[in-house]
Structure 1
Amino acid sequence: MDYKHLLFIALISLIACCFIMAMVWLWAKKIKNAGVVDVFWALNFPVITIITFFLSDGYEPRKILICAMFLLAELRLGIHLWQRVIGHLDEEEGRYEQLRKEWGDKASRNFFVFFQFQAISNVILAVPFFIITANQSQGISILEFIGAAVWVIAFFGEMIADRQLAAFKKDRSNKGQVCDTGLWHYSRHPNYFFEWLTWMGYFIFALASPWGILAIISPAVILYLLTRVTGVPNNEEQNLRSKPVAYKKYQETTSAFFPWKKKR
């Protein structure tokens, strides 16, 4: 494995992602909606995939398999987020609106830094991908098949959770209520859980490659971001502001992240 070449691919990916996020920041500044960053955070991964596929020198069938997995998952997420955000570009999502209020005059500068941090996180999270596509060993191992199986479960789990929530919100009779059906009956954030599980699939897949243990950084960072920074905390705060009584009751009975049976 040529580590200098790996670093070169990571650097090219970082430059591309930072440039994209700078352009997205300019657009977000113009339309006064920072929520578009979520869409392009997901869509940066396909950019990394294309760069890595053509520049890496690993075993071709393995490259095709992991690139297909990466592209499919992140394009699905990007398209889902695009459909959610594009419908109300004139209305900024609550968590970003709150940040804009808290940052005041420094909002524009802070959002630029925030957008660039998202680009950096894209490259950090792609570590398993860089490692896997550089693996030149012939054949697909049992660990890689297990990783792919975990990925399949996570992919369909996240897609189902997103569709269940979208269907719930589409029903006007549910306005002001909390989605507590399907996967949302067992977790307050099943979409986030399955997103994390997707990265666990990549990690397991990477364990078959030299230095694959380093890929643990991806599910670890995703877990931290989702449960401590931008995912669960912001979402919970927004839900408590918009429907305090119903969501408080939901919090008392339902697991925050990992799907589990209801509490009494």
Structure 2
Amino acid sequence: MTGFAWAPFAVNLAAAAGTALAVLLAAFAVGRAKGMHRVVDIAWGAAFAAVALVSYALSAGYGDDGRRLLVTTATMLWGLRLALHISQRGRGHGEDPRYERLLAKAPGNRAAYALRMVYLLQAALVWLVSLPVQAAQYTAGPLGVSAIIGGALWAAGFAFESVGDFQLARFKADPRNRGRIMDRGLWSWTRHPNYFGDFLVWWGLFALACGTWQAAAVSLVSPLVMSYLLIFGSGMRLLDNHLADRPGYAAYTARTSGFFPLPPRRAPREGTRSR
């Protein structure tokens, strides 16, 4: 059996939209009750895991079973690890400054503005970015070269962001590093190893979906949108702007690649203070 199951995939698109919306609405209820909307960042990864699981259940009998299981497992591992990491990182902290600044501009009811500009927007992005995860479930062609490439990209990205997050968490946990910039390990090769890892993960998932040209065509927008967000949108650019005034950050940017990992450039080190 080869090809792409268009009609069941169309049903899946609607189910995935409903799943993403349900997860983000639940997060909104929690965020409003707590008076803190950073919970949406936990829901981001969890929503992808939920979409993958629902798509796997709905696609039984349509796509290649090996591809379905591989893509679902990869997406759930990525999404749940990210949700757990962000949950642990935010424990004991107040509202994320990004959402404080956004909600300070609310023209009316802050809760309604947060729902519209944060939660519903992220639900739409989860649906759009997860297109390779959905399309892969309905691709009947057997695993081939594209799956090997995709699996390798996903594994490299997952390892890169996991190691980067672990290194940063361990650095911050040491009182001797208070006020210093993390510029060791992967952070000496790129200022954003977690974002670069996400970049590889989503191009890998796209490659895993490419068992047919139809699946590739319908899901190419996903890694393109994710790449734009990571590099020019709410990822690297926004964080660099937020940290730009920190003492020592200019020296760090002078010697460290912004996104793609490169050997650190030689530059005079100054007393650094941190992210």
Q: Verify same fold: TM over 0.5.
A: yes
Is 1:120–2:124 an aligned residue pair? yes
1:240 to 238, 241, 244: 244
Displacement, 1:22?
1.7
Q: 1:263 is aligned with what amino acid?
A: R
Is 1:70–2:72 an aligned residue pair? no
8 Å contact from structure 2 (residues 191, 257) kept in 1: yes
Give the alignment's Cα RMSD to 1 decimal.
1.7
CA distance in 1: counterparts of 2:261 and 2:107, whole angstroms: 38
Structure 1 consecutive aligned stretches of length 4 or more whose deviation exceeds 3 Å: 102-107
Displacement, 1:78?
1.3
Q: 1:257 is aligned with what amino acid?
A: F
Give the aligned partner of residue 145 of structure 1: 148
Displacement, 1:105?
4.4
The farther-off stretch of 142-151 and 205-214 is 205-214
Equivalence map 1:1-264=2 (5 Å): 1-56=4-59, 57-85=62-90, 87-88=91-92, 91-103=94-106, 105-113=108-116, 114-137=118-141, 139-214=142-217, 215-241=219-245, 244-264=246-266
Q: Residue 225 of structure 1: SS of its match in structure 2? A: helix
Structure with greater helix share of residues: 1
Q: Residue 248 of structure 2: SS of its match in structure 1? A: helix
CA distance in 2: counterparts of 1:81 and 1:197, whole angstroms: 19
Q: 1:83 is aligned with what amino acid?
A: Q
8 Å contact from structure 1 (residues 95, 238) kept in 2: no
Deviation by residue 1:160-204 (Cα, 9 ceiling, x = unmatched): 000001111111121111100000001110110011110011122
Gaps of 5+ in 2: 267-275
Gaps of 5+ in 1: none
Alignment coverage as a number of residue pairs:
259
Q: 2:84 is aligned with what amino acid?
A: I
Q: TM-score, normalised by structure 2?
A: 0.88
8 Å contact from structure 2 (residues 42, 83) kept in 1: yes
8 Å contact from structure 1 (residues 227, 233) kept in 2: yes
CA distance in 2: counterparts of 1:149 and 1:158, whole angstroms: 14
